[in-house]
């Protein structure tokens, strides 16, 4: 009886210690965001459930040779069997050889209006020319409100890429510039992309390529894990919470996706942009606006229509997060945000 009471008292003491430690960590994390990010990097991710030898697609597709178990420190597949692409899981040569036989063309869309054109576009395009789909034909569809400035940049691009100018008007609010791209991309696909490219990727301009962003990223419907959320528990995802918005998610979801990068076949991207644009229009009619604008609508779409391939945060990393053991390479990096200057309307 005495030993049982002693064991119970010991259990209570240990429980109180654990609670106190948790409380200390929580308070310190709120005071010091860097400490919180370090702790966040230690949160374990789910493991891939697929058996070794699993074939994702029929035939000899390069996706069938993904090594999901080469990275046990991260999640490399989803519960609906979509691969999550991390450094060390794929054979870049195998992907390039397969797609060269298909003689594919990849499109890239980017918007640069107002100060975004002056501050970010040149570095974005020149780095894309070096690192985006190396060895393949690329068409850059660049939406700008000043064609003369774009032409001064375009002369510095290599012959590998073709540039298509798309003139747009700058909206009064930066939020409207962001949300209007879904409509404009949809229209571009219907009028031009479907006749010129097999795949299309859509990017924000305030970032730059710093490593291979290659054919391993191609798929029917491709989403990107948000660098700030990929290790956070689902209850911290910032999905739309207003039931009046069409972007409202009645679930903890699967992942939180970043709208800075999405892509796939032109057919798939057309469906995505059409659905997001339709949701934005319905929200305007209801006089509501989703918290994170087009990104909220994109997350709703991918919750309903699961992506067939997901890119890890190495495909769009924010250096402000700091060092993470699981990020072995930076393929695309955020540029330091200067919202006061970049979003200024003149």
Annotated active-site positions, please? 295
Indicate the burial class of 11 (C-beta count within 10 angstroms; 0-12, 13-18, 19 or more). Answer: exposed
Residue-wise DSSP of 116-184: HIIIIIHHHHHHHHHHBSTTSEEEEEEEES-HHHHHHHHTTS-TTEEEEEEE-PPPSSHHHHHHHHHHH
Using CA atoms, how far apart are residues 279 and 277, in angstroms rounded to an integer? 5
- Residues paired with 213 in a beta bridge: 132
- Contact (Cβ atoms closer than 8 angstroms) between residue 82 and residue 306: yes
238 by DSSP, 3-state: which? coil
Q: Tokens 């709208």 sit at which residue?
A: 259
Using CA atoms, how far apart are residues 220 and 308, in angstroms rounded to an integer? 6
- Contact (Cβ atoms closer than 8 angstroms) between residue 164 and residue 142: yes
Q: Tell me which DSSP letter residue 14 carries.
A: H
Compute the chain's Rg from CA coordinates: 22
Q: Tokens 């918007």 sit at which residue?
A: 111
- Which regions of 198-304 does DSSP assign to beta strands (E)? 199-203, 207-209, 221-224, 261-265
């Amino acid at each position: 009886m005495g030993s049982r009471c002693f064991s119970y008292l010991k259990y209570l003491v240990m429980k109180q210690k654990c609670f106190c430690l948790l409380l200390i960590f929580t308070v310190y994390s709120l005071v010091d965001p860097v400490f919180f990010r370090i702790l966040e990097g230690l949160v374990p991710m789910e493991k891939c459930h697929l058996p070794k030898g699993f074939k994702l697609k029929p035939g000899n597709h390069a996706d069938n040779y993904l090594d999901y178990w080469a990275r046990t420190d991260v999640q490399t597949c989803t519960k609906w069997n979509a691969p999550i692409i991390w450094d060390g899981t794929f054979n870049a040569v195998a992907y390039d050889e397969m797609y060269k036989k298909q003689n594919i063309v990849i499109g890239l869309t980017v918007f640069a209006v107002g100060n975004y054109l002056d501050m970010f576009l040149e570095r974005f395009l020149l780095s894309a020319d070096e690192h985006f789909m190396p060895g393949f034909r690329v068409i850059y569809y660049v939406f700008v409100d000043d064609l003369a400035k774009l032409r001064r940049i375009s002369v510095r691009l290599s012959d590998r890429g073709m540039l298509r100018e798309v003139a747009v008007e700058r909206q009064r609010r930066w939020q409207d510039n962001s949300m209007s791209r879904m409509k404009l991309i949809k229209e571009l696909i219907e009028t031009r992309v479907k006749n010129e490219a097999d795949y299309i990727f859509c990017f924000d301009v305030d970032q730059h390529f710093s490593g291979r962003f290659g054919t391993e990223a191609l798929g029917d419907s491709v989403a990107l894990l948000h660098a700030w959320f990929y290790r956070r528990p689902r209850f911290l995802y910032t999905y739309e919470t207003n039931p009046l918005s069409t972007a409202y998610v009645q679930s903890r979801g699967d992942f939180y996706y970043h709208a800075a990068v999405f892509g796939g076949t032109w057919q798939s991207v057309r469906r995505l942009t059409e659905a997001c644009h339709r949701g934005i229009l319905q929200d305007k009619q209801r006089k509501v606006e989703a918290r994170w604008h087009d990104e909220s609508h994109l997350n709703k779409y991918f919750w309903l229509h699961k992506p067939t391939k997901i890119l890890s945060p190495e495909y769009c990393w924010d250096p402000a997060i700091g060092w993470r053991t699981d990020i072995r390479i930076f393929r695309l990096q955020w540029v330091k945000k200067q919202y006061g200057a970049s979003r200024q309307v003149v």
